[in-house]
Structure 1
Amino acid sequence: MATTDRFPTGPVVRYPGQAAKLALAHALSAAERGLAVIPLSRTKLPAVRSPHRDRPDGPRCHGECGRPGHGVYDASTDPSRIRALFAAAPWATGYGIACGLPPHHLIGVDLDTKNGTDSTTALRELALGHRFTIPPTIVVITPSGGRHLWLTGPPDVVVPNSAGRLAPGIDIRGAGGYLVGPGSRTAHGVYTTAPGTDHLAPAPCPRALLRLLLPPPPRPRAAPSTGSHGDGLVRFVLAAHAGQRNTRLFWAACRAYEDGIGESLTDALVTAAVHTGLTEHEARSTIESAARMSHGPTA
C-alpha cells in the first residue's frame, strides 16, 4: 500500500486484481497533500467514461450534469468522491493530478526524451538565457526516462497547456491539464518519484520562467491620440474576453511596473478590468501580484 506522507520512489510489485486498489491508495495519499486527482487507465487517459459519449456533438459539459466522466474536471481531494470515481472505473491502473487548482496551482514541466530529444539541455539553456534556476522540487520519472518537474504558480495567473512551445521536448501542463501521478502503472511501465525528491513540496515557479509560460499576447494597439504606452496597456486589458481577463491584466500590470508607471496606472487598469467583468477586489489582487513579481528578486 502507498504511504500517506511519501510518494513511491520505485516500482511497486503488482498482483492480478490489485492494480486499481494500489492506484486508489496512491491517489488518496496525493489527495492528503492537497492534490486533486482522477483515475487513469493504462493509456494515461481518464478512466471514467464520458456520460455524453453517445452524443459527441452535444453541448460541452464540464461536470455541470452532476455525473462523473468529465476528465480533469472530475478531479477532487475528497476521499469519498475519489473512491466513487475509482469504483466507476475498476480498470484504472493509475491516477492523474489536476494542474492549476488551489492550494498548489500546480504547473508541470514535462521533459521528454522521445526521438532523441535533449529536453534537459534545452531547459538548462533557457535557464541560462533568462537567468533563472529551477529550485529543488518534486521530480517524477516516467517509464521512458523523461522527467516531470512540479512547480507552483500564483493563484491569479492562468498558465495554459503547451507542447514544444518553449523548446522541442518541453511540454507544459497547466490549467485544464493533468500529470500522471507517481505510483501509476501504464502500458509502458510505472511512474516513480526521483530519489531524494519524494519528501519535497512543489517549489514556486521562478518568475522569469513563469513569464515564458504565459502565451505572448498580441501587441496592444496604441492610443489614437497620444500613443501613450500606458493607454495602450489599458486598451489591451479592455479587449480581454472571458477566460483571459486575469492573464491580460497580469501581463499589462507587469509591463507597467517594469516601465515605472505601475502605481500611476493602477486605477486605470482596475477600471478597465472591472469593465471586462472582474470585481475590483480581483483586479487589485492581480495587480498586486504583478507588482510583487516585478519588484521581487531574480529567481
Structure 2
Amino acid sequence: MATTDRHAVPPATLALAHALSAAERGLAVIPLSRAKLPALRSPHRDDPEPALCRGECGRPGHGVYDATTDPRRIRELFAAAPWASGYGIACGLPPHHLIGVDLDTKSGTDSSAALRELALRHLFTIPDTVVVVTPSGGRHVWLSGPPDVVVPNSAGRLAPGIDVRGAGGYLVGPGSRTEHGVYSTVPGTAHLPPAPCPPALLRLLTPPSRSHRPAPVPPDPQHGQGLVQFVLAAHEGQRNTRLFWAACRAYENGIGHELLESLVDAAIHTGLTDREARATIASAARLTGNHP
C-alpha cells in the first residue's frame, strides 16, 4: 500500500492515499472513521421507515455498498468525510472476491492455534497471502474466493475468536488509523495478491445447501436465549456481525420470528439503533430464505 510519513500528513489525506493504492489492486474501498465504522452517515437516517436502499438513490452513506475502485468516486467519498482516518475494503466483490479470516485476540482464546487445529483436522494449509496486523495484535488473513460462491459474515462460527468477513462485510485496510492504533501488513506480505481459499476451508465457510438440511427440530427456548446472550456480549466492531449470525441461526432453527424483538432489544443494548438492528435481522431472514 502507499507509504507516507504519518507525522507530516493529515490522517484523512493519508487514508485517501492508502485507499487509492488499494483500489489500484482491484480492491473496492470506503472511508472509515476512527471507530472503524463507515465515515458517512446514512442519507435515510431520518426517514420514518427503515430504508432497504443499497445506494440506488445515488447519495453516499450506504456503508459497504458505497465501495468502489473508481479513483474519482473515492476522492468524492473522502471529500465528503474529511474526518475519515482509515478505509474499509469490501469483501466478496470481483475481481478478488475477498474473504477475510479475522483472528481476534480480545476473546481470550488463542485464535491462531484454533485455525491451525482446523487446518490439521480438515487437511488444508493457509497459503502465502496478505496478512494484516490489528492494533490489538490480531490478524486479518486475506483469501480469494471463487466468483460463484457467496461466503457470509460470521462471528465465532468456525471457532472461538475466529470471525469471517464475506459478502456484505469489509476489512479495515492497512494504513488505517483508528482509536486504538494503526493497521499494518506483516512484512513480506503487502505485495502478495489474496491467495485462493483452500477448498476444504471454503466448505467450512459456506452454509450447507438448504435442500440437504435435516428435518427441522422443535424450537429450543434455551437455544434462543443463548443467541440473545451472544448478541449482548458483542463489543465494538462485532455488533452487526454477531446480530446477523444470531439472526441467521434463529431463522434456520425456526425461531426467527419468535426471537425478533429479543434480538432487537439486545442489539440496541450494545449500541445499535432500532432501525439498524431490524435491517440486519431482515438481511439474515432473506439470506436464510425467510420473509422479514
TM-score (structure 2 length as normaliser): 0.70
Q: Report the CA distance between 1:73 and its aligned residue.
A: 0.2
Partner of 2:158: 166
Partner of 1:122: 114
- The 2-side partners of 1:14 and 1:123 are apart by 36
Is residue 19 of structure 1 aligned with residue 42 of structure 2?
no
Give secondary structure in 2 for the equivalent of 1:81.
Answer: helix
Q: Percent identity?
A: 78
Instruction: Give unmatched runs, 5+ long, in structure 1.
Output: 223-299
Task: Give the alignment of 1:98-247 within 5 angstroms.
Answer: 98-218=90-210, 220=212
- Once the two structures are superposed, what CA deviation does each residue of 1:49-91 show, in whole Å capped at 9, x if it has no partner? 1101112633311001010000000000000000000011000
**Closer, same or farther: CA 161–20 of 1 in aligned 2, 3 Å:** same
Task: Give the alignment of 1:39-78 within 5 angstroms.
Answer: 39-55=31-47, 57-78=49-70
Work out which of the residue numbers 82, 85, 95 in structure 1 matches 2:87. Answer: 95
Task: Give the alignment of 1:26-41 within 5 angstroms.
Answer: 26-41=18-33
Larger Rg: 1
Number of equivalenced pairs? 214
Give secondary structure in 2 for the equivalent of 1:140.
Answer: strand
- The 2-side partners of 1:67 and 1:109 are apart by 31
- The 2-side partners of 1:64 and 1:132 are apart by 40
Partner of 1:265: none
Provide the aligned C-alpha RMSD in A: 1.7
- The 1-side partners of 2:210 and 2:113 are apart by 30
Moved over 4 A (4+): none
